[in-house]
Structure 1
Amino acid sequence: MGAMPSAEEQVCLQRVSQETNNGDVTLLGSSFSQAGTEVIVGVGPQMARWQCIAYSDGTTSRPMSLTNEGTL
């Protein structure tokens, strides 16, 4: 990857790290929209997937686990 995470990606990485109490977080991807930037974060050695929405005002949604949720 090499590129620095955007401000939205960075704030979501920080929020997921706080939510999971795990500093081992990896940016897996993000998609920008007017409503907010969806950021997918991998946590821990198994890269458990977490979702966070970052908004243009600097706030985020509460991070939500995408694993062990059953079929969506």
Structure 2
Amino acid sequence: MYNNVFKGKWVQKIRKPNCIHKYNFIKTQDSENFKTGQMGIASFYKCEKCGKEKVEYKYNNDINSDLWNI
């Protein structure tokens, strides 16, 4: 009985993605990483189809360091 469960359709459902995400921009807000002392912005995105949210961080220190490397 247990061998049939492992060969069942639920294993295939786990492997197959349910949604091919298409993210739309929601909002941007300031963010700070207290451990490293970096400040920057956080951009929030949400999938049109399933509603999954994604956050991308961009720190000002990364942007400013390029200006000083002349």
**Shorter-chain TM-score range:** 0.3 to 0.5
Greater percentage in helix: 2
Greater percentage in strand: 2
Structure with higher Rg: it is: 2
**TM-score (norm: length of structure 1):** 0.39
**TM-score (norm: length of structure 2):** 0.40
